[in-house]
Structure 1
Amino acid sequence: MRVSYDWLKTMIDIPEDPKTLSDEYIRTGTEVEAIDTVGESFDHVVTAKVLTKTPHPDSDHMYVCSVDVGDKNLDADGNPAPLQIVCGAQNFEAGDHIVTAMIGAVLPGDVKIKKSKLRGVVSMGMNCSARELGLGGDHSGIMILPEDTPCGMPFAEYVGSSDTVLDCEITPNRPDCLSMIGMARETGAIFDRDFHVELPAIKAETGRATDDELSVEIADEGLCDRYVARIVRNVKVGPSPDWMVKRLNALGVRPHNNIVDITNYVMMLTGQPLHAFDLDTFAARDGHRRVVVRAAQQDEKFTTLDGEERVLDAGMGLITDGERPVALAGVMGGMDSEIEDDTVDVMVESACFNAGRTSHTSRDLSLISDASIRFERQVDETGCVDVANVTCALIEEIAGGEVAPGYVDVFPAPKTIDSIKLRLARVHAICGADIEPDFIERSLTRLGCTVERDGEDFMVSPPSFRPDLPREIDLIEEILRLWGMGRVTATIPAAKNHIGGLTREQKLTRKVGEILRACGLNETTTFGFAAPGDLEKIGMPTEGRGCPVVLMNPLVAEQTEMRRSLLPGLLQSVAYNEAHGTPNVHLYEVGSLFHGRENASLPKETKSVAGVLSGQWSERSWNMKYRKLRFFFGKGIVEELLAQLRIEKVRFRPVEGESYAFLQPGRAAEVLSGGTVLGWVGEIHPEARETMGIDEVVVAFELDLDKLIKGARNQENYREFSQYPAVEHDLAIVVDNTVTCEDLERRITSAGGKLLEGVRLFDVYRDPIRIGAGKKSMAFALTYRSDDHTLTSEEVEKAHQKIVTKVCKGVNGEVRG
């Protein structure tokens, strides 16, 4: 919201230095991004005199002029020289004094003046109208200055008027501050001063009554909370007065004509978006016109004011004449209903459209307007009639319109505002300061609240334009904001029976991050929000993950749910990096997942840790060639993590079926601790990578952090090192291809007893002739050792034979000779 200092001065007494006001805005929570000066930015714009004016050789309406700009333009020898400018205006002659924008000037609306050719003739600048300079609405001809105007004077110096503008960043919870009246009220609360606004009133109402000629119907009450319509007849469309154009320009609104400018002016003044329709665009049936607010049909087409045909989704709001749509509700008008120079009768719309529906419409169509910004933050529905009256009064005054008697007001469900009890003791406890009751009462009153004393406490009724004040704590926040948080004395928070330090869960969570970083992964943080269907997109089943938790007011249309897995966000990071030339991606994230539950007020929240690996560990160097990352790299990281956390009975189980359709078959496994499934690790399926736009192979894992913390042990049980030598035996067993290494290792360990110290696979051999079709030989190195004596050959042989017998019988294998 741009705040005009000159305009604000007409409403309230403010400091002379804009920096002082800016500092107070920032102190009370309104960020000021910049302080601009409008009117002193006319660089390369000067006063000038027309020396000659000759017809353009290739145009019947343009002229080639030589323009004297004093010493602001020089020839090759450094002497003053006139400019050649091609101009299409008809209202000037040789000898007139004008305003000229030279090459390098930037006019309001970001119009950059460059050297150009107009029908083959070089033009070295532009002769300017009042509208092009942002000083008036007249663009029928260039601005003519008095005869005694000097040539070459900077126009900013000549015009002698400027306005300071504060570019304020208004938070989404303060829709009241998206208006000059709102900022005046906020300023009055900050400085404890009264503000006043003189609003015009309708002088006379004549002709046929509005409700006799016009009816309004809200076909879908979810689209519109209130709709007010008034009619003004016999308007004269033309340029707006200079004072209005100056104010609109200061606020960044480009002038059009007096009718459209009035609606924009009132919106900037009050915060209520308005729209002026050419009344004749509403079809008259038996002398009566209809306004119907309805939802669009799926794929219905509509051409907006910017000339673009838009394809609408079902549920988007439309304003129609009963049959034909004329505007996109709360966002933008239509091409066929705009105010033209020949418009005679005008219908003024002052409505309150649903915030959520307006937000979805504007964002789904990528069509953000000043009106949609205000509607999606919630407009005050109680002010619709008053704002419509102010608009009609200005049209009556500026455009000579005749206001029809009465108005049509459709208000299906007026809202009531309950009083809030504000406890003085609670204010002091929350704020940590003894704020005076008189200050509390004055501050809330200046913010628009109705305040009544109730002993030491207060009964407060928030104004309808402050939807962000429904609770006592919100009122306390406003009081402290105005009183000044910097005035609160710093104290150490009170604590009983509590000492500082991290909890076991916090320590282990940090340890998980340390281990993964030591393994070469980089920590990242993705959004806690997700797009609908993001799990289905990569083939990840939703079974067991609860129902989606849908956001009531999502920030963007692509993030309307809370995430149920970390994987989609990490894959998006891989895709982004790959698209920007970074193929080697090694990321991990620790974050929360949200699982909705039927008939439950809150979702179930769990913690998860996940990682993704793509490309290779590093770029190739002169003495090292790195291999592409595959399944066993991810499995090794998971094994290291679980080993460092000292989680017992870890094993990996091959996965298959629809439950893991997002993983490559044969290159994925479930991670278990005993009978508890901790998570999974594997290569992402090529089809899932394709949907995410990823070319490189991606290895990923996701583990339940809550289960990791529960199964982690703080320390190992001490075991003294054996002083006796070890004995190693090799064992090669021929088994079916379906038998896994994990299964064999588990059987060998179980059969080996106390003497078996270690098992290590060192060879896998396949040969259909020597071994047999569908068979493989797996060779293990077995280590035997005793803690209390040196093993004899008989002891080792007995233990080894026991392993051979049990394992071969369990897997139907045989020892390879």
Structure 2
Amino acid sequence: MLVSYKWLQEYVDLTGITAKELAEKITKSGIEVENVEILNKGVKGVVIGHVLEREQHPNADKLSKCLVDIGEGEPVQIICGAPNVAKGQKVAVAKVGAVLPGNFKIKKAKLRGEESNGMICSLQELGIESKFVAKEYADGIFVFPSDVPVGADALALLNLDDEVLELGLTPNRADCLSMIGVAYEVAAILGREVKLPSVELEETNESVHDYISVKVEATEDNPLYAARIVKNVKIGPSPLWMQTRLMAAGIRPHNNVVDITNYILLEYGQPLHAFDYDRLGSKEILVRRAKAGEKIVTLDDVERTLTENHLVITNGTEPVALAGVMGGANSEVQNDTTTVLIESAYFTSATIRKASKDHGLRSEASTRFEKGIDPARTKEALDRAAALMAEYAGGEIVSGVAEVNTLKQEEIVVTITIDRINSVLGTAITKEEVANILTNLQFAFTEDNGTFTITVPSRRRDISIPEDIIEEVARLYGYDNLPTTLPVAESQPGKLTPYQAKRRKVRRYLEDAGLFQAITYSLTSEEKATQFALETAEPIRLAMPMSEERSVLRQSLIPHLLEVVSYNRARQIENVAVYETGAVYLAKGNDELPEEKERLAGAITGVWHAHLWQGEKKAVDFYVVKGILDGLFHMLGLENRIEYKQAKREHMHPGRTAEVLLDGRVIGFVGQLHPSFQKENDLKETYVFELALTDLLNAEVEEIRYSTIPRFPSMTRDIALVVDKDVIAGDIQKTIIEAGGELLKEVSIFDVYEGDRLPEGKKSIAFSLRYFDPERTLTDEEVTAVHEKVIQAVEQQFGATLRG
């Protein structure tokens, strides 16, 4: 909400308080003032000039030579490029020495050989945005009314000596979506009176019922509809002060009738609509739900198809407005309009919100209806608009109001005690102070022995319970005045749980390893919901999804991480390494909440590291990703309990994928995406992993035990075993460890060979075995005896033979 400081002064006495001081007080009372804009933007030296003569520039087709009286002795010659400049106009003139926005200084100049002593200005050149300038002046200079005095300050006449407060309103404070609403708030803060506009109507002897009848079928959507007729209006520009107030509030002026409806919207917070009575096509207003497939062309010249969920204003047969959102082009006020029907109504929020969303039409009117208006002002605003049309459009107000009123609004009464207020706020506020705050808020109340019974005004729809009253007291008493206390309780300092501490270590480890943390949506598409999932269940679909791409709860983190990779690659970032810790959701039953399980996942593609000076590049491969996980398991103390087993999974490369087992139970997988899946998703060679993080972090780990560095030497024996191609190296390694007993301390694979020197269907796997005893030096005989057991074990279990 944009609030003009000068306009606000008409409702509340702001003597002694600057705009910035007022902004600070409003912010401290609970409504944030996001900005205070000074409208003149440093402009000075701009006055009203009278164009005495205008002739074509002798050396330029698009320039005019003007003789302008600026109220300082002799008229001055000014060269102007505006297409609409003409003799007799009153215009804004930047004198020589004037300063325009951007610190642009006006000097004497020669344009195509002709002297120019100043500049005739458009509104845009004075700092007003083009979208707020009336269309007739959008491509030229602004022409002032003929009665403005020559030499007067143009900035003051254009209201550019004003300051505008931008209020950042929360949804509950819809009462401040109007100047009067803000005035009530400011008056409460300052402890001053609110001066409401006085409305005096002079009505003709004719009856409004001779012109129009009102019928409402959809009374639940529209419990109050009121209309007035103003005849003999003359369409023209609205008064300058009204135009400038509209522009300061971010609304473009149109003509006197439309501008008055917009002015009332800002003043009262009550949206109005003006119909050309003669274009209605009947003497009836019927408010009803639209028929399925019914069409209307709105004021923006767009044909819109309606549904039965939309409320329309009709002339008895066809729609003339989409209620609360936008009027119809068939009843628009135009330059030849002479009789105006003014609509003022109370529409329910949900109905307007539905229509606004369905048609993508968010207007000043729909915003206020969606958040809720004060029905007590509906007819007041109607009368005020009629009075202004009579004053500024020369209209005659037909007697009476055509209305349908089925609105039943019960008063909200809240009871609260002074003890309750002080108990919640930790204060010692007296009942007299509370009474003063309620009086400043203009809340009707009675007080009996410290108990306040408060009748909430209809403009404050956000107040309904005692806690709301406590908040009102607190913010007007002053949050800065509330005492600061420490909680009194037996408590211990907060700390991370063991699980949280381990999870933080996991994140730090992965970031130290070179991966970046990603945080992605929990919602995905039905197609991606079960992709890469460690466990699958029936997909959980939202009842009202925002889109199909975000309609189902995920069961794996990998699909979204691949979206992150694709997003980066589309922006020429080829080397991507990301991880995420987050929940997946598994359905348990129709009437039960889904089970949430925490997962750890990663996706890596591109070059892992590069030393360009040495000409070395290392692309990501399976062993890079496996090495990262090995380091993670080592950090968690689980390296001796983890196994990798070759596996085949959907969308994964069949020869470069392994399941990860903890104590023999599968907790995840690691591997390369299947080449076809990579191609479908426009990815290069990409490796992923996903682990059941809960299982990892909850695994019991023995305390770290340290041993001294061995004093005695170790012995290493290498063996190359020829086995069938389908034998898994990890199984052989496990057998070697079991057969080697206590003396065998390390087993590692250092070579795999398949080639012409081996029989078909065979491969050679070479292992390095390290033996030692921390208490003594081993003899060759002891090591040989154990080594023979190892060879016998692999021969018996796998049919292995030693390669010569």
Do both share a fold (TM > 0.5)?
A: yes
Rounded to whole Å, the distance in 2 between the matches of 1:29 and 1:279 is 44
- In 2, the alpha carbon distance for the partners of 1:421 and 1:148 equals 58
Rounded Cα–Cα distance in structure 2 between residues aligned with 1:291 and 1:527: 46
Q: Which residue of structure 2 aligns with residue 48 of structure 1?
A: 49
1:228 is matched with 225
Aligned residue for 2:26, secondary structure, equals helix
- For the residues of structure 2 that align with 1:716 and 1:574, how far apart are their CA atoms? 38
- Structure 2: how far apart are the matches of 1:559 and 1:728? 58
For structure 1, the 5+ residue unaligned runs are 73-78, 108-114
The equivalent of 1:350 in structure 2 is 345
What is the match of residue 504 of structure 1?
498
How big is each residue's C-alpha offset from its partner over 1:143-165, in whole Å with a ceiling of 9 and x where there is no partner?
36679835xx8633788983221
Letter of the structure 2 residue corresponding to residue 437 of structure 1: K
1:476 maps to what in 2? 470
Shift in Å, 1:3 = 0.9
Query: Are residue 781 (structure 1) and residue 768 (structure 2) matched?
Result: yes
What corresponds to 2:104 in structure 1? Answer: none
> 3-state SS of the aligned residue for 1:10?
coil
Alignment of 1:137-286 (within 5 A): 142-143=143-144, 149-150=150-151, 155-156=154-155, 162-198=161-197, 200=199, 204=203, 206-207=206-207, 209=209, 213-218=213-218, 224=221, 228=225, 230-232=227-229, 234=231, 235-278=233-276, 284=282
Deviation at 1:375, TM superposition (A): 4.3
Question: Contact 1:537 / 1:688 at 8 angstroms: preserved in 2?
Answer: no
1:18 CA drift (Å): 1.5
| 2:754 corresponds to which of 749, 757, 766 | 766
Amino acid at match of 1:181: I
Measure the CA separation in 2 of the matches of 1:605 and 1:468. Answer: 36
Q: How big is each residue's C-alpha offset from its partner over 1:689-740, in whole Å with a ceiling of 9 and x where there is no partner?
A: 7787x64544344444433331263732445655444333334445555554
- TM-fit CA distance, 1:496: 0.6
Cα offset, 1:86, TM superposition? 4.8
8 Å contact 2:610–2:618 — kept in the other structure?
no
User: Shift in Å at residue 479 of structure 1?
Assistant: 3.0
- What CA distance in whole angstroms lies between the structure 1 residues aligned with 2:39 and 2:708? 82
Q: Could you tell me how far 1:644 is from its partner in structure 2?
A: 0.7
**Does the 8 A contact of 2:530 with 2:555 survive in 1?**
no
Question: Quick check: 484-493 or 790-799, which moved more?
Answer: 790-799
1:335-414 equivalences in 2 (<5 Å)? 335-343=329-337, 344-346=339-341, 348=343, 350-354=345-349, 358=353, 361-362=356-357, 367-380=361-374, 384=378, 387-388=381-382, 390-395=384-389, 398-399=392-393, 400=395, 402-403=397-398, 405-409=400-404
Cα distance in 2 for partners of 1:611, 1:369 equals 45
Distance 1:741 1:541, change over 3 A: closer
Given residue 289 of structure 2, which amino acid in structure 1 is its aligned partner?
V
Q: How does 1:735-750 map to 2 (within 5 A)?
A: 739-750=727-738
Query: 2: distance between equivalents of 1:308 and 1:366?
Result: 12
Q: Distance between the aligned counterparts of 1:540 and 1:211, measured in 2?
A: 70
1:756 to 738, 744, 751: 744
State how far apart, in whole Å, the 1-side matches of 2:332 and 2:504 are: 61
Query: Is residue 2:515 matched to residue 1:521?
Result: yes
Cα 1:462–1:86 change in 2 (3 A) is: closer
Match of 1:649 in 2: 641
Letter of the 2:540 partner, please give it: C
1:712 to 1:491, Cα distance in 2 relative to 1, 3 A: farther
2:630 matched to which residue of 1? 639
Structure-2 separation of matches of 1:565 and 1:450: 58
SS of the aligned residue for 1:183 comes to helix
Distance 2:566 2:668 in 1: 23
- Indicate whether 1:293 and 2:289 are aligned: yes
Describe the shift of the 1:242–1:723 C-alpha distance in structure 2 as closer, same or farther (beyond 3 A): same
SS of 2:747's partner is strand
Paired residue secondary structure (2:3): strand
| Per-residue Cα deviation, 1:624-649 (whole angstroms, up to 9, x for no partner) | 53323234333322222222122362
Change (3 A) 1:360 1:283: closer
> TM-score by structure 1 length?
0.77
Aligned residue for 1:498, secondary structure, equals coil
- Number of aligned pairs? 775
Out of 560-569 and 396-405, give the one that drifted further: 560-569
The 1:26/1:339 distance shift into structure 2, 3 A limit, reads same
Contact 2:747–2:767 (CA<8 Å) still a contact in 1? Answer: yes
Partner of 1:708: 696
SS at match of 2:289: strand
After superposition, give the CA deviation of every residue in 1:483-527 in whole Å (9 maximum; x if it has no partner).
223223333333314245443233223222221222122345x36
- Greater CA drift, 313-322 or 742-751: 313-322
Structure showing greater radius of gyration is: 2
After superposition, the Cα gap between the structure-2 partners of 1:388 and 1:146, relative to the gap in structure 1 and judged at 3 Å, is closer
SS at match of 1:443: helix
Preserved CA contact (<8 Å) 2:36 2:164: yes
Q: Single out whichever of 261-270 and 133-142 deviates more from structure 2.
A: 133-142
The DSSP-based 3-state class of the residue aligned with 2:37 is strand
Corresponding residue of 2:714 = 726
Q: Is 2:660 aligned against 1:674?
A: no
Q: Is the 8 A contact 2:723 2:764 kept in 1?
A: yes
Separation in 1, partners of 2:644, 2:659: 6
* Matching of residue 547 in structure 1 with residue 515 in structure 2: no
Q: Is the 8 A contact 1:216 1:410 kept in 2?
A: no
Matched, 1:432 2:419: no
* TM-score, structure 2 normalization: 0.79
Hey, what's the Cα distance between the residues in 1 that align with 2:416 and 2:554? 38
Contact preservation (8 Å) 1:538, 1:688: no
Amino acid at match of 1:757: K
Partner of 2:106 in structure 1? Answer: none
Q: Distance in 2 between matches of 1:620 and 1:365?
A: 57
Deviation at 1:9, TM superposition (A): 1.4
> Does 2:618 align with 1:627?
yes
For residue 429 of structure 1, report the CA deviation from its aligned partner.
4.1
Compute the RMSD of aligned alpha carbons: 5.1
1:735–1:812: 8 Å Cα contact kept in structure 2?
yes
Alpha-carbon contact 1:421-1:458 (below 8 Å) kept: yes
Please give the per-residue CA displacement for 1:203-231, whole angstroms capped at 9, x wherever unaligned. 54854539974434449x7xx57563525
Give the secondary-structure state (helix, strand or coil) at the position aligned to 1:82: strand
Q: Matches of 2:601 and 2:788 in 1, distance apart?
A: 43
Contact 1:41 1:156 in 2 (8 A): no
CA offset at residue 386 of structure 1?
A: 5.0
Distance 2:405 2:483 in 1: 52
How far apart, CA to CA, are the structure 2 residues paired with 1:449 and 1:810?
Answer: 91
CA distance in 1, matches of 2:222, 2:548: 23
CA contact under 8 A between 1:66 and 1:85: conserved in structure 2? no
Give the C-alpha shift of residue 21 in structure 1.
Answer: 0.6
**What secondary structure sits across from 2:23 in the alignment?**
helix
Deviations 1:642-673 (A, max 9, x none): 2212236223455545xx54x55544444442
Instruction: Show the 5 A alignment for 1:564-643.
Output: 566-567=557-558, 570-591=561-582, 607-618=598-609, 620-643=611-634
CA–CA distance in 1 between the matches of 2:328 and 2:767?
A: 78
Q: Whole-Å Cα distance in 1 between the matches of residues 382 and 148 of structure 2?
A: 44
Equivalent runs, 1:436-455 vs 2, <5 Å: 436-444=430-438, 446-447=440-441, 451=445, 453=447
User: Which residue in the other structure is 1:111 paired with?
Assistant: none
Pair 1:339–1:520, CA change in 2 (3 A): same
CA contact (8 A) 2:290 2:312 kept: yes
Gaps of 5+ in 2: 102-108
Structure 1 residues 500, 231: closer, same or farther in 2, change over 3 A?
Answer: closer
